[in-house]
Amino acid sequence: MSAVRAADKRIYNRPIKFVSLAGGREIGRHSHYLSIGKLKILVDPGVQANGHARPIDVKDLHGLNFIFLTHAHLDHIGSLIDVMLVNPHTRVCATRATRALASIILKKSNLTRGRYSEEEIDRCINRIKTVHCEEEIHMGKGIYARFIDAGHILGSASIVICAPEGNIMITGDFATEDRGVLFPFRRPDMDLRALITEGSLVGLSMPSAARERDSFMSHLRGNINEDRNVVVAATPLGVFQEYAMLMPQLQQDGLLPSFPIFLNANLREAFKIYLRYYESLALAAKLPKESFAGFMVLEPLDKKVDVSKMSPFCLIAGPSNLKWEFPNGFVRQVIMQGGYLIADNRYTESLIYRRVSRRGKDRIKPEQIMRMCSSNHVTEPDLNSLIDEMRPHKTVFVHGMPRSLRRFARELSGVAMVSRIKEFINL
């Protein structure tokens, strides 16, 4: 008996250490190291940034036992290839959709393009083991992990690691509000020894995501009904892409008139994957996949296409910054003929004018442009209620604005802290 107890004691008292490798104090960088005894886990090989993003330092990241990916945004997977190449035998886990999206994102990225061939990227992507949400991943030594829906982008997951010493949740980017397309984050019913959470929106007052979506749809409907064409400046894997996925359903339900939906090439790959993994979306329960037949109309909508000969349409065009592959010539034509532009409110009005109008010469009425919030992160009040309901023994903020996070941590009176980059935290 006493020998068993001695063994238990050895297992159950392992030190649990956490280090935020990149961006603990900056928005949008994400890379976390966790060890339980001798087990070494990396969650999200992200990027570091001082001006321009660059891969994280991998020289101390040998001998990892597991790499978990929360989702396919570049700030969370930018160093995946670098980390996998120095850890050739490490098990890498992600949801199916995250794996598919990671492949297109890494092939397009400046961080990998030129440094790695498509074949090298494919070899790494093929090594990723896919997991379903709620599936148990056995990690040995009495420890297992579980991915749960995070409601951020297609495939996004929060990760719960269950050890005899206690449960640790790393949220990744997540959202609790139902936007109608993805399954939102739902808190797991368990005690937490530690919650490692993003707090990107802490300190910002945010409109409700559902209200923003409804306002987006009502502006779209109003303009199409008035025979005005609508352009949405969207980013792949963003909220406006989600809204575009909702349009066929709303058309079928009679909540939007029927109009063609065009996409430009910048968004094509991301949409293809959303449609391929359609059954993993909450939206699939409401509308059969056939309704999407013909949904993606990829047309070379450039300056040569005569807008005046087209019936009212909606063009979803990327990228959202209205630069690079954004079809400015065509969009200028749409606007000059009285069309309407919906853009992200991350971009200022003057920047949008500058990019759409020809050297500021074209006359664009302010009422032709609408800027909207397209956030898919948890808000401060929702994060507050999550912490209040789950009551983790320790909360660590890793992804947000330092000053706001420090204020929020103080308000949580002693149970929360803001992690510094490369600081070892005993959980």
**Which residue pairs, CB below 8 angstroms and at least 24 apart, start in 271-277?**
271/236, 271/241, 271/244, 271/296, 272/296, 273/97, 273/100, 273/101, 273/104, 273/154, 274/154, 274/241, 274/245, 276/100, 277/96, 277/97, 277/100, 277/154, 277/155
- Which CB sits closer to Zn ion, 95 or 328? 95
Rounded to the nearest angstrom, the gap between the alpha carbon of residue 91 and the centroid of all alpha carbons in its chain is 22
40 interacts with Zn ion by CB under 5 A: no
- Site for Zn ion contains 242 (CB under 5 A): no
The answer to the question of residue 394 lying near Zn ion (CB under 5 A) is no
Point out which span in 34-42, 56-64, 99-107, 167-175 binds Zn ion (CB under 5 A): 167-175
Q: Is the CB of 73 or the CB of 332 nearer to Zn ion?
A: 73
Residues contacting 152, CB < 8 A, separation 6+? 71, 172, 173, 174, 175, 182, 185, 376, 377
Query: Taking CB under 5 A as the rule, does residue 173 contact Zn ion?
Result: yes
What are the φ and ψ backbone dihedral angles of 372, each rounded to 5 degrees? -130, 155
Which residue, 75 or 212, has its beta carbon nearer to Zn ion?
75
Contact letters for Zn ion, residues 125-144 (x by CB under 5 A): --------------------
Residue number with CB closer to Zn ion (25 or 73): 73
Q: Give the nearer residue to Zn ion in terms of CB position, either 98 or 333.
A: 98
Q: Which stretch binds Zn ion (CB under 5 A): 173-181, 243-251, 265-273, 289-297?
A: 173-181
Name the closest residue to Zn ion (Cβ). Answer: 73
Q: Which stretch binds Zn ion (CB under 5 A): 12-20, 96-104, 169-177, 211-219?
A: 169-177
Site track for Zn ion across 272-311, x = CB under 5 A: ----------------------------------------
- Whole-number Å distance between alpha carbons of 57 and 41: 16
Instruction: Closer to Zn ion by CB, 327 or 400: give it.
Output: 400
Q: How far apart are CA 209 and CA 386, in angstroms?
A: 18
The C-alpha angle 264, 265, 266, rounded to 5 degrees, equals: 95
- E strands, 230-290, in order: 230-233, 261-263
CB 126 → Zn ion: shortest distance, Å?
24
The span of 52-60, 165-173, 227-235, 284-292 binding Zn ion (CB under 5 A) equals 165-173
- What is the DSSP secondary structure assignment for residue 154, as one 8-state letter? T
To the nearest whole angstrom, how small is the minimum distance from the Cβ of residue 31 to Zn ion? 10
Q: Which of 70-78, 248-256, 295-303, 315-323 is the region at the interface with Zn ion (rule: CB under 5 A)? A: 70-78
Does residue number 332 form part of the binding site for Zn ion (CB under 5 A)? no
Q: Which of 76, 29, 144 is nearest to 419 (CA)?
A: 29
**Residue 32: closest CA among 153, 156, 131, 171:** 171
Contacts of 309 by beta carbon, 8 Å cutoff, 6+ apart: none
Task: Using the minimum distance from each CB to Zn ion, give the nearer residue, 310 or 421.
Answer: 421
Measured from the CB atom, the residue of 173 and 344 that comes closer to Zn ion is 173
Cβ at position 247, least distance to Zn ion in Å: 23
Q: Which stretch binds Zn ion (CB under 5 A): 137-145, 171-179, 340-348, 378-386?
A: 171-179
To the nearest 10 degrees (0 to 180), the angle between helices 209-225 and 239-252 is: 60
Q: Which residues of 105-137 are buried (b: 16+ CB within 10 A; e: fewer)?
A: bbbebebbeeebeeeebeebbeebeebebeeeb
Q: Return left, alpha or beta for 413; rule: phi > 0 is left, psi -120 to 50 is alpha, else beta.
A: left
Only segment of 65-73, 97-105, 283-291, 408-416 that touches Zn ion (CB under 5 A): 65-73
Give yes or no for residue 73 binding Zn ion (CB under 5 A): yes
- Contact residues toward Zn ion (CB under 5 A) are 73, 75, 173
